[in-house]
């Protein structure tokens, strides 16, 4: 009936979500959206791009493949390398990428659909994600793009329409905004929408809030591994306040910094892990001036 199915569930909390929750969750999330109205508040800390339209082209960036971050930099890099080479995650990713290629082909004004990147690995505060980038030239309207692409392949399954039917039978509650799409349309025609994953919402008519979480299931999936992946994705709910600084303690002997290169490399590793942007050349220049 289906090759892959993306099953989800909803977590609930007694309290409503707020702007402060969004600020805490959405650090380094490139497609985050906060919406608040009289009846509903939505906090989407999404890392996944559904599509962007700009200059006569449409890009889609399906995300399939997840592994948790590790507190140790060496172990963290090993997790990223594991995800990059994982046969299972690559198979799931290419399956979804092919679906997106087929969807975009129906819109293409040239008949050509390109995969600009396959099996890219992206770093986020609590997870590593595998993504691919698909692109084509279009003359279609936003409504036509949604008609061809929605719902996103990464949150349904393959084949898409059969997967949607299975999801409707198996999931015990509506997804709401979760796995939908949030974004913007500018007057110049540019448009950008996310896949509303890592998303919480609350409604004035209901008490508390909900957070959707799920993952892709295939015939050889390991239940314990899939459950662990769901827990990993939910870590964002416990994301600490990121307001801190990096510091490196160095010793000076005979007018020189002891093992300076070692210290700078360690600082670079910490900056890479925590997604800090540092200028190593500027730091070295500062240290040189300091020692004069």
Which position among 1, 52, 61, 64 bears the catalytic label? 64
How far, rounded to the nearest angstrom, does the alpha carbon of residue 269 sit from its chain's CA centroid? 22
Q: Which tokens belong to 251? A: 């010793």
Q: How many CB atoms lie within 10 A of CB 186?
A: 10
Q: Catalytic: 139?
A: no
Report CA torsion sign: 154, 157, 158, 163.
negative
Q: What is the dihedral of CA 71, 73, 78, 80, to 10 degrees?
A: 80
Q: Catalytic: 48?
A: yes
Q: Which tokens belong to 153? A: 């392949």
Instruction: Provide the strand spans (E) within 124-266.
Output: 127-138, 157-158, 183-185, 191-194, 199-203, 209-218, 252-253, 256-257
Which residues are known catalytic residues?
48, 64
């Amino acid at each position: 009936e289906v090759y892959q199915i993306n099953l989800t569930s909803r977590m609930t909390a007694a309290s409503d979500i707020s702007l402060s929750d969004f600020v805490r969750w959405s650090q380094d999330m490139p497609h985050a959206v906060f919406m608040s109205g009289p009846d509903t508040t939505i906090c989407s800390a999404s890392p996944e791009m559904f599509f962007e339209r700009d200059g006569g082209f449409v890009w889609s960036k399906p995300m399939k493949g997840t592994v948790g971050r590790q507190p140790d930099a060496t172990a963290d890099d090993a997790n990223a390398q594991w995800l990059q080479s994982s046969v299972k995650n690559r198979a799931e990713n290419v399956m979804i990428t092919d679906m997106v290629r087929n969807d975009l082909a129906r819109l293409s004004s040239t008949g050509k659909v390109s995969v600009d990147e396959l099996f890219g690995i992206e770093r986020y505060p609590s997870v590593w994600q595998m993504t691919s980038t698909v692109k084509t030239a279009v003359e279609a309207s936003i409504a036509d793009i949604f008609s061809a692409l929605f719902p996103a392949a990464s949150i349904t399954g393959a084949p898409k329409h059969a997967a949607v039917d299975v999801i409707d039978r198996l999931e015990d509650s509506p997804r709401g905004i979760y796995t939908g799409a949030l974004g913007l349309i500018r007057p110049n025609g540019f448009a950008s929408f996310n896949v509303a994953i890592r998303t919480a919402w609350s409604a004035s008519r209901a008490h508390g809030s909900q957070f959707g979480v799920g993952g892709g299931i295939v015939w050889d999936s390991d239940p314990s591994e899939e459950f662990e992946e769901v827990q990993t994705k939910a870590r964002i709910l416990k994301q600490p306040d990121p307001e801190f600084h990096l510091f490196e303690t160095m010793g000076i002997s005979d007018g020189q910094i002891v093992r300076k290169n070692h210290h700078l490399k360690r600082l670079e590793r910490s900056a890479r892990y925590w997604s800090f942007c540092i200028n190593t050349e500027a730091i070295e220049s500062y240290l040189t001036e300091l020692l004069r």
